Structure 1
Amino acid sequence: MEITFTGASGPGRFEVSYLIEETAKGIRLSCHMRMEQKGLFALADPVVAASLRRDFAANLRNLEALLETRAE
């Protein structure tokens, strides 16, 4: 199953997709985010991308921990 969100904020647009797949070991949740900034905001793309990767990874680890705790 795939869920996709799109939107715009200030000078940019974004799209976030979550893909949920069954595997032999359980469920795999993947996230893909695409952003398009305009003007001077585009210069900050590498910094923003690194920050978002860290935040998404931390949030997914927290989600995994919560789901595993409830499954026990």
Structure 2
Amino acid sequence: MRGVWDGIQRSIGVKEEGKEALLLDELRQIIQTIPQDKIIGVRNRALLVLSWAVALRRSELVTLDAEDISITRMD
């Protein structure tokens, strides 16, 4: 029964308790620990920055395709 109740709460959008937003300074500290000398490090840094900048949940981030992203210039 507990699994059913959890599914119902997810589908109606019950507020989750105990989660705090990642602050910019914290993001910077995390990114500095990720090595840049390999492509996987570059990818991981990009994913973290992207997900933070547009406030994506993990489930939303993993569904992104390269075609979903466009590079634009902000003047």
Larger helix percent: 2
TM-score (norm 2): 0.27
TM-score (norm 1): 0.27
Which of 1 and 2 has greater Rg? 2
Larger strand percent: 1
